[in-house]
Amino acid sequence: MNNNNEQLQRLITLALQEDIGTGDYSTLCCIEPEKKGKAVLKIKQDCILAGVEIAKQIFNQVEPTNVFHQYKNDGDKVVFGDIAFEVEASIHTILKCERLVLNIMQRMSGIATLTNVYAEKIKGCKTKLLDTRKTTPNFRLLEKEAVKIGGGTNHRFGLYDMIMLKDNHIDYCGGIEKAIDKAWNYVQEYHLNIKIEVETRSYDDVKQVCEYGMGKVDRIMLDNFEPSAIAEALKLINNQFETEESGGLNLDNIETYAATGVDFISVGALIHQAKSVDLSLKAVII
């Protein structure tokens, strides 16, 4: 997260502004500003924990003098009843941060937990598990971090760190060869250090990329290919390009797809089908 620290700070600032608005009147009306307090993050559901480092960042950003006792780390398997951390700070700070900390950690832990289930299914295969851009607007940074914590690998972060020529790009451009040419020339002209990936929808598409994209294309995406079709395509590709399968993957069939030997499998469900886990931040009365 160090490379994205500025973005994280901005995310936290905007999220707190959204929640607090003109003031946390529930706290302001009944808690003296100088009063100190303690709270613990309780695990209420077995999961892969994610977001502890973000919680620490939130408290540090609001009150740098807080005392944060960390008992569990991101990526830990935790069970009902575990304590992830304890924080000592102004009660105003604790109550301001409570919902943001919980929203982030519950969401991230849900994604990390589901990702871990998928990752365990293909453990031992050479295939890497990728996420997608099917993320919550303005929350992608943390959702993709949760995928990594759960044992997955991040695909491109956005539209700027890889050229991916998908079906619509190819159709609008006028065909695979034309799209590859334009993408390659663009990368050379602007000196971009990014990969080019081309989506294929049939064996003939794969053949066309293999024949025309050598030295230009880095990865071939096999979109909605059945395992037998992947095997045929991989023979044709013959390790000359990276390969990625996308579309129609789930927990029931991912092992079969990974067994084909494809380099990457991208699964949008890691993020958009993950369910938040149950956590709570409870006051400790001193």
Q: What spatial distance separates the first Cα and last Cα of the chain, rounded to whole Å?
A: 34
- Report the run of H or E that residue 93 belongs to, with start and end: helix 91-121
Contact present, 130 and 152 (Cβ < 8 Å): yes
Catalytic site residue from 199, 205, 244, 263: 199
Catalytic site residue from 223, 242, 255, 278: 223
Long-range CB pairs of 124-128, under 8 A, 24+ apart, other chains included:
125/255, 125/258, 125/259, 126/261, 126/263, 127/257, 127/258, 127/261, 127/262, 127/263, 127/264, 127/265, 128/153, 128/263, 128/264, 128/265
Catalytic site residue from 166, 182, 195, 207: 166
222: its two tokens: 């096999």
Give the type of residue at 150: G
Catalytic site residue from 99, 121, 133, 195: 99
Q: Is 167 a catalytic residue?
A: no
Q: Is 223 a catalytic residue?
A: yes
Q: Is 74 a catalytic residue?
A: no
Catalytic site residue from 134, 156, 182, 207: 134
Q: Is 134 a catalytic residue?
A: yes
Phi, psi of 268 (to 5 degrees): -65, -25
Q: Is 181 a catalytic residue?
A: no
Query: Number of helices and strands (H, E) in the chain?
Result: 11, 12
- Report the run of H or E that residue 244 belongs to, with start and end: strand 242-246
Phi, psi of 219 (to 5 degrees): -140, 140
Residues with catalytic function? 99, 134, 166, 199, 223
